Structure 1
């Protein structure tokens, strides 16, 4: 649904406009939309639509109009909230919200001295106006809102014209300003800007005449002289002040470190002169070329040096992209895992560009739009490594003409070339001369010159493939006393075939190179190398590798060091290890040939046990109050990570989840693929709360769907109930509240059948929240009361306190404030509550709201301040902002305007930092203070 108020009040469902009915019904919708997400009390709605002399039937008529609007717009479009109604809006759904968002973006660009970007945003904002705001809506309220909105429009118009003057568009701006002065003859802002535009256009006399006209109009209409700003402009023009000449537009000031993510360039890069020249021709002298470059290998060959080539050229041209260089490995051909999804890649790139991950949209199209908006006006280089296909890459292509994308892939990505104008660059194996030059750089000219025949044999047996030559050179450097002829002989003895390659002759020789690197390992290191093929990928920590092998951490570190020196694994960042996908394939073949299926199963269970038990413990530290599932003991030899509680979600457990997120997703898929169904659903449970708190709801839903299949195969109703809970969380946050409620009801049924009273009670308490989100407040209260009864019967004190708070909250929403207060104050008496600072803060916040509605404002302020101390202690920023917003409401009701402004301003700072949509609600309250109108 889309709505418009900056013109006639209108609505669309997709491309089709909705008939909104009679004028008063439209007026009801307009008032709710102007609330911009805030709750609008019934009394305020009646006054806005009917005026102060409303008939006695107004409330009944209002409910009828709301009912009709829900039928037109959908049952969840208008929510019943406490003693009023609420419509959630966003820049995607409401033109006013989009206008505000674009103006804010323009203001930020102006502060960053980026006038071009500011002008674009402000022009886009003004384009949302389609005539007089609220056209067709009558009454004093509508007229007052029209005046308010027109002030916002004029402010944006003033900012837009100021930016255009900064950009040197003096003549065009002068024409527009002359029309504005005629329309608003008493507005000195536009007179002053018109004088400046005329002066900069070489029309000094007309600028002075404009001042004289202003002085006459102000004297006739108001009996006053021009203000000091206008007089000062007049005096500066009279003396031809040099400062009036437009200065050059300054460069944008970065508000964060410029990303520089390119991998380190290899010092031994050789050859590729023709391809490098081809790429250089694509960038003319100023670098302004919108293009995508696809670096692919002939016949899909791996190990041909695509990434090395791309990194080398990216470093060569990086200076042309001052706004940053981004890099991401899309893992399109990882033998052990799935490629990185476009959604995940977009989130990673947006975070690299400074976006708050919790503020990012969930809708895929909105995510692409956010990404392209971030890149608009910037000159950024993006290296997308190891892409699987065009579908994976296309959403990652920026729209900004100053950006360059380099894509590497084993595929030619013909779709990008045909549809998106990508420029293909194909790499083959090195020439003989380039291969010899490569070995000279790695081994030294003297050693290569001493055995030319052996060098030729090595080049031929490595099939001139850079990866194979690199490993051969590493072997020669490690065995510096060996003649190169002996190494060539070892290579010639390779008998087996690496089937992952498409070219048989090349595959045989490359496998031989891998084989003598492998055979030079100690037996323990060789075993660890084989086991790496069983790891979910894409990389592994030291503790996970130790668990995989069933060894101590210290011993495993020694073995990984040996593998790193042999160039069979890399350590891209300290403490994390990864192997090239060809080497993982080779390791898998060795494992199948050397180890039994039972050994594979045991190792796989060990590493999955590591991730399951580590994630379980990290989750307990990350969310200490979450009721935990019971796990079987980990297998012998598993090294489990340990974490201290961290209710602020910023300590080692949170960092561990951040580092292991991709591995945990892969571990869930690996467990499911190998029939380890208990590991599958329990891993999904263990990582679920982290994904929920991070706003990664699509990932949460995907993992829970895999978990549900596993739980159904197990026939375990308790497991299914836990998965329904996880799916309900995802559905709630993705806006599918009806589905969430159904899933939670199913969880309650299953927990009841399994006899798990605690889990059942918690599910019912969460079900209360789902019902509240639907506006079904009576059902929400009933569920909360049921959860309270179950927790009391079970003797769970802390959960009883949470349920008491839920009951109290529902009573407040229903207007039963004394009952709310009684329940919440009882929660304060629970002896375990001091050990639950977040829950205690939540209770104090609920108490404050009840006291506010009972008119006990001094007590409400004290309760809110108690909650704030605790929320700050545990570091839950959104909850702190939510309480600050309510504290401001209480201050405002009793006339403490300065205190209200301070609380709301502090809340707004937090919400803007989080990128939360509630920021607009609080901003509207602050605007209401300025405009002297009600703010609750």
Structure 2
């Protein structure tokens, strides 16, 4: 059934996807729905919106308004919560998600834009598609196709989509789902999103006002865990006045009272009065968060205050717990957690409870610490982070080409992952936003040695998960930093790596320019393995547009690998031959393709650690070459062998592609039954992976 489940004594037709064949449903079959044809795969409801705090207060009228306006038969609605940061927009969004959990039968999606980091709506759409069940390998390469696929995936599902941090209307419009009854909730800090009310989204804006006296007092009492009736009434009133109904300020004051204990409201109020003269206004001068931050900060011990300032200068949203000894007293962490300024995410990472607190911590560092001390502290953190990512990269990728000297970097250090590949990959995935932030911040600060090494090691994440926007930013910034640091090898490596995400994003000219630069640099280096890798990237970039030029590039790749005495060159040469064979196939030279691909398969099989995945992919290309050369039996046997290997290896996306090629081959031979069998299997795998190609094959099967 779809999202709109019929009530008692009603019948509704609810067949998902494009149907080919016979479908029947009717009154006599009141509780039965039978359909023959393609259906979207069942998927677990995504629930990306976090739970609200237990002491949510005073937004009942807005909750009632949302509840009363939901209509399962209406087009998706957009609602913008407006108000200054700290007013409680995110908390209200989480409360709506909790209260309407059963209504949003399609689940909940969430994305936060950040200036300089996550600015492109295509990043959000790509992430949403993964969450909605589309395998990374099955996500369309064209951003326009990704946007269409998002609409298709969400059609027929009631979804809550949360958008935070947007400053341009286009960032919101692109994320409106296709399902009737869906709701998009947006948190806006300023007037930039007003245009949404006038365009096709028909957005409605609702300002959030500060809490009134009674709920503000209730929230303070909840967070302080003390009976406020036993405190000095005037002092409590003064504290609530300076908080001005801002939930974030009340939470911080409550944390301070909780730490200080009963009978301390008067002392805290006196301290706030003394602090007033030093404050800056944030938003409304009467509602000043900085007074609360400063008061809380002055109550910290020297060790906790130092740690607070150090954390404020870390560019990432998360700081790995094991890096704390680099910059401060780890015993002071409990004090920051109790003060409600810092929280531990899962026992292994820290973050500020709000970006405004982080801003205050950075401001205090600028005001109290010398530039030399701040620089020393940040470099120490980045050095420690490089060690962790170095161990993670080695565990995730093994011994592969890299220009970072891992042996020197990791000498004498303890491996936190103990060589565990899955642990390292999970850590890299968690660190995704921090990896991006550290590369960007290091480049901006002129710490170019750190920027290019972080960028190269971060590639271990992108090769697994293809976060192409992050990869494009880190690789290009890293290449530029390597140039400024005078490291030609690192610049060549990162410039060639950058061609992959740039190509995926359709920035072909820029990818070509980066490759030109990489080729130029590699030619002047005594590093044949790096030169071979650069030519491999060059050939892969050219294969579709200019296969003859690609063949020439792969020739250079093979030649450079042969000139290297690095053990990895054996595999590198085999891959160069394999890709050269594929380029011959693209150029229509079937015999040359078959010769190269067959040779490469033998080489990859004979490695000390055979590359089974590339052998299986090579068999697919070899089968296609046999078919193009007019050898139908060899083509059949080879493609079947490829399917078996891909299936046993669990590489189901490549298996589906191989089965589709096999079906094409059988159709040309007039074997319709065999063709249908492999098309059905290909469609099943594509459907399980969430690939839009499943619908194409379903249509083809229906014909």
Structures share fold, TM-score greater than 0.5: yes
Q: Show the 5 A alignment for 1:42-121.
A: 118=15
Q: 1:665 aligns with which of 436, 454, 473?
A: 436
2:81 matched to 1:295?
yes
Shift of 1:428: 2.7
**Displacement of 1:804:** 3.8
Residue 542 (structure 1) aligns with: 321
Deviation at 1:416, TM superposition (A): 2.2
Separation (CA, whole Å) in 2 of partners of 1:819 and 1:272: 71
Measured after TM superposition, the shift of residue 725 of structure 1 is 0.9
* Residue number in structure 2 paired with 1:346: 125
Question: Does the CA contact (< 8 Å) of 2:601 and 2:615 recur in 1?
Answer: no
Q: Distance in 2 between matches of 1:538 and 1:591?
A: 17
Aligned counterparts of 1:358 and 1:496: Cα–Cα separation in 2: 58
Alpha-carbon distance in structure 2 between the residues aligned to 1:749 and 1:115:
65
Residue in structure 2 matched with residue 52 of structure 1 by the alignment: none
* Match of residue 325 from structure 1: 108
My pick for the range that moved more, 690-699 or 788-797, is 690-699
* Cα shift at 1:764: 1.9
8 Å CA contact 1:908, 1:922 repeated in 2? yes
1:427 aligns to 2:197 (yes or no):
no
Distance in 2 separating the partners of 1:421 and 1:666: 35
Are residue 827 (structure 1) and residue 603 (structure 2) matched? yes
- Residue number among 590, 611, 616 corresponding to 1:815 in the alignment: 590
The corresponding residue for 2:175 is 396
Change (3 A) 1:788 1:583: same
Task: Give the 3 Å change call, closer, same or farther, for CA 903–665 of structure 1 in structure 2.
Answer: same
1:801 maps to which residue?
A: 574
Query: Does structure 1 residue 713 correspond to structure 2 residue 484?
Result: yes
Deviates more, 1:624-633 or 1:732-741: 732-741
Structure 1 residues 463 and 666, CA gap change in structure 2 (3 angstroms): same
**CA, structure 1 residues 810+309, in 2 after alignment: closer, same or farther (shift >3 Å)?**
closer
Structure 1: how far apart are the matches of 2:411 and 2:295?
33
State how 1:615-630 maps to structure 2 within 5 Å: 615-624=389-398, 626-630=400-404
2:562 maps to what in 1?
Answer: 792
Displacement of 1:587 in angstroms is 0.5
CA 1:910 to 1:530, structure 2 compared with 1: closer, same or farther past 3 Å? same
Question: How many angstroms apart in 2 are the aligned matches of 1:636 and 1:600?
Answer: 26
1:533 paired with 2:312, answer: yes
Residue of structure 1 equivalent to 2:194:
414
Query: In terms of Rg, which structure is larger?
Result: 1
> What residue in structure 1 maps to residue 296 of structure 2?
517
Aligned to 1:305: 88
Deviations 1:862-915 (A, max 9, x none): 766776676567654444445555667788899998777666654443344345
Deviations 1:840-868 (A, max 9, x none): 54556666666777888887777667766
Q: Distance in 2 between matches of 1:515 and 1:503?
A: 17
- How far apart, CA to CA, are the structure 1 residues paired with 2:11 and 2:336? 50
Match of 1:601 in 2: 375
SS of 2:186 mapped into structure 1: strand
Matched ranges for 1:78-477 at <5 A: 118=15, 156=20, 162=23, 166=25, 243=28, 255-272=42-59, 275-276=62-63, 279=66, 282-283=69-70, 290-297=76-83, 301-331=84-114, 338=117, 340-412=119-191, 413-419=193-199, 420-443=201-224, 446-477=227-258
Q: Structure 1 residues 763, 875: closer, same or farther in 2, change over 3 A?
A: farther
Distance 2:491 2:334 in 1: 43
The offset of 1:461, in angstroms, is: 3.0
Tell me how far apart the structure 2 counterparts of residues 114 and 598 of structure 1 sit (CA, whole Å).
73
* CA shift for structure 1 position 751: 0.1
Q: CA contact under 8 A between 1:834 and 1:840: conserved in structure 2?
A: no
Shift, 1:532, TM fit: 1.5
**Which blocks of at least 5 consecutive residues in structure 2 are unaligned?**
none
Tell me by how many angstroms 1:582 deviates: 1.4
2:335 to 552, 558, 562: 562
Q: CA deviation at 1:670?
A: 0.7
Equivalent residues of 1:620, 1:645 under 8 A apart: no
TM-score, L = length of structure 1: 0.64
Aligned to 2:284: 503
Shift of 1:738: 6.7
1:711-770, CA deviations, whole angstroms, 9 ceiling, x for partnerless residues? 443454433322331232234334566764564344222201223221112222333333
1:536: Cα distance to partner?
Answer: 1.8
Say if 1:692 and 1:730, in contact at 8 Å, map to a contact too: no
- Residue from 667, 674, 696 that aligns with 2:467: 696
1:371 CA drift (Å): 2.5
8 Å CA contact retained: 1:328, 1:385: yes
> 1:821, 1:477 → 2: CA distance?
70
Task: Render the CA deviation track for 1:292-350: whole Å, top value 9, x for unaligned.
Answer: 222212xxx33222222333344334443333233444457xxxx64553222223333
Within 5 A, what are the aligned runs for 1:913-928? 913-915=688-690
Question: C-alpha displacement at 1:611, in angstroms?
Answer: 4.4
Q: In 2, Cα distance between the equivalents of 1:114 and 1:714?
A: 70
RMSD (Å) for aligned C-alpha atoms: 4.3
Q: State the alpha-carbon separation in 2 of the partners of residues 892 and 513 from structure 1.
A: 73
Which of 750, 753, 759 lines up with 2:521 in the alignment?
Answer: 750
Deviation, 1:669, is 1.2
Note if contact 1:296-1:409 (Cα within 8 Å) is conserved in structure 2.
Answer: yes
Q: CA–CA distance in 2 between the matches of 1:279 and 1:897?
A: 55
Could you tell me which of 485, 489, 500 is aligned with 2:266?
485
Q: Aligned with 1:320: secondary structure?
A: coil
Task: Give the Cα separation in 2 of the matches to 1:730 and 1:492.
Answer: 54
**Structure 2 Cα separation of the partners of residues 610 and 729 of structure 1:** 29
- Counterpart Cα distance in 1 of 2:609 and 2:559: 22
Once residues 657 and 671 of structure 1 are traced to their aligned partners in structure 2, the CA distance between those partners, rounded to angstroms, is: 19
Does residue 586 (structure 1) correspond to residue 586 (structure 2)? The answer is no
Secondary structure at the aligned position of 2:55 is classed as: coil
1:464, 1:829 → 2: CA distance?
69
Q: Distance in 1 between matches of 2:11 and 2:489?
A: 56
Aligned with 1:780 (options 550, 554, 557): 550
**Structure 1 segment 760-771 matched on structure 2, within 5 A:** 760-771=531-542
Using CA pairs under 8 Å that are at least 6 residues apart, name the structure with larger relative contact order, 1 or 2: 2
Deviations 1:40-90 (A, max 9, x none): xxxxxxxxxxxxxxxxxxxxxxxxxxxxxxxxxxxxxxxxxxxxxxxxxxx
* Corresponding residue number in structure 2 for 1:909: 684
Tell me the CA shift for residue 567 of structure 1.
Answer: 0.6
Moved more, 496-505 or 883-892: 883-892
Aligned residue pairs, count: 684
Give the superposition deviation at 1:278.
5.0
Deviation at 1:588, TM superposition (A): 0.8
* 8 Å contact kept, 1:610–1:639: no
Tell whether the 8 Å contact from 1:265 to 1:308 is kept in structure 2 after alignment. yes
Match of 1:759 in 2: 530
Per the alignment, do residues 784 and 585 of structure 1 end up closer, same or farther by CA in structure 2, a change over 3 Å counting? closer
Q: Distance in 2 between matches of 1:476 and 1:538?
A: 27
Retained in 2: the 8 A contact 1:324–1:381? yes
How far apart are residue 415 of structure 1 and its match? 1.9
CA–CA distance in structure 1, aligned partners of residues 341 and 348 of structure 2: 16
Give me the whole-angstrom Cα distance separating, in 1, the residues matched to 2:668 and 2:504: 32
Tell whether the 8 Å contact from 1:458 to 1:488 is kept in structure 2 after alignment.
Answer: yes
Change (3 A) 1:582 1:480: same
C-alpha change, 1:566 and 1:710, in structure 2 (3 Å) is same
The secondary structure found in structure 2 opposite 1:396 is coil
Alpha-carbon distance in 1 for matches of 2:68, 2:274: 44
